[in-house]
Amino acid sequence: MSTNEMYSSPVDLENTWDVPMAGDARFTWEYDNGRDRLLSLYQKGKDKQWDQTSRIDWSIEVDPYDSLGLPDEVSAIYGTPIWDKLSDKQKKELNRHHSAWQFSQFLHGEQGAMICAARIVESVPDLDSKFYAATQTMDEARHAETYARFLQEKIGLVYPINDNLAKLLDQTLTDSRWDMPYLGMQVLIEGLALAAFGLLRDMTTKPLPKQILAYVMQDEARHVAFGRLALKDAYKELSSKERDEREEFVVEACYLMRDRLRGKEVWGTVGLDEAECDKYVDQSEVMIAFRNHLFTRIVPIVKDIGLWGPKVQRAYADMGVLQLGDANLDALMKQDEDLAEQIDKEKAEAREVEQRIAEIEQTIAIGADEQPVAVD
């Protein structure tokens, strides 16, 4: 079935969205000068490839009206007069639309990440970074494939890309400076996505989305480490003017992501008053905590790569997230990797138990067939 029939509103599928390319494709003839940490990340990238067709258990059923198994209280309009007027059917429909919106933005973001990673392969000067970005391009393709399958097979509804996410992708890709896809995608968009994936991974009570989010996060932990390593080195050399420009971009992008990526388009689509619902989003304690949580990964990375001037610190203080700069990124990343492996382990153990039960049942059945014949 074409995705067209699943979009929440009409999308032009005849034409592609074309972002003009800027900057040079760079070749290097130095094949022997890789940085150890980057090369070991590349090795890990090659070793840890996985395939959604075999690693994810797609036979698990998903209720599209309750795909994540979250309580009603997480809705931004919970307990408001609008909420109280909704029938159970409407609440279920809203639940489905919110999940579809969220996972659709993950999906479009993954396509953006694949294109940015490919762009980095072209434009970054060093071969070790090109090698790494090539594995990331493949990782992002697998992520886009996985989210597309989840939406198409399990939710049956897809939202178009959010305008502000598209704007950020456009800004990131049209800039001719080679570090901008890193900063825009690897640090900001990936950092935000990682926090959102993490929150849903930890909150969902449903096994299929939990597997998907944990496995995708296992790869994303490497991507963020790559952005940090590459930019930390490069940003030591920046002039103060160059640093200023990047800090301004970070501040603007962070406000944009905090204030504009919040599913506003869902309300109108399900027939609710968009302005009124959006007002509740601003006031809802759950949503305020959620928006702040989105910065748990970005702020420490921005600090780590050295874009920590007064403008950035002021903006983060204003958002109330400045203290997040001290989070231990390595520990967070290790946790992401361990959690995915833990799920694999639990699945293997469950399979073993199933096998053993089947063996016992078979033995019992054989035993029943082989009843000794009574002898007179």
Residues that bind Fe ion (CB under 5 A): 110, 113, 140, 143, 190, 220, 223
- Using the minimum distance from each CB to Fe ion, give the nearer residue, 113 or 277: 113
Dihedral of CA atoms 160, 164, 165, 169 in degrees, nearest 10, equals 120
Closer Cβ to Fe ion, 76 or 230, answer by number: 230
Closest to 214 measured CA to CA, from 60, 112, 338, 106: 338
Is 126 or 220 the residue whose CB approaches Fe ion more closely? 220
CB of 353: closest distance to Fe ion in angstroms?
Answer: 33
Q: Please check whether residue 149 is in contact with residue 52, taking contact to mean a CB–CB distance below 8 angstroms.
A: yes
Burial 192-226 (b: 16+ CB within 10 A, else e): bbbbbbbbbbeebebebbbbbbbbbbbbbbbbbbb
Cα radius of gyration rounded to whole Å, the chain: 24
Find out whether 161 and 105 touch, Cβ atoms under 8 Å.
yes
Query: How many angstroms separate the CA atoms of 240 and 334, rounded?
Result: 34
Shorter beta-carbon distance to Fe ion: residue 137 or 269:
137
Rounded to a whole number of angstroms, the minimum distance from the CB of residue 60 to Fe ion is 22
How far apart are CB 185 and Fe ion at their closest, in Å?
Answer: 8
Rounded least distance, CB 355 to Fe ion, Å: 33
Least separation in angstroms between CB 186 and Fe ion? 8
Residue 366 CA to its chain's centroid (Å)? 50
- We find the least distance from the C-beta atom of residue 220 to Fe ion, in angstroms, to be 5
Give the nearer residue to Fe ion in terms of CB position, either 143 or 201.
Answer: 143
DSSP, res 287: H
Q: Are 7 and 108 in contact (CB under 8 A)?
A: no
Alpha helices in 48-87 (DSSP H): 52-55, 81-85
In the bound state with Fe ion, the residue whose beta carbon lies nearer, of 94 and 165, is: 165
* Cβ 228 to Fe ion shortest distance, Å: 13
Give whichever of 108 and 154 is closer to Fe ion, judged by the CB atom: 108
How far apart CA 195 and CA 182 sit, in angstroms, is: 18
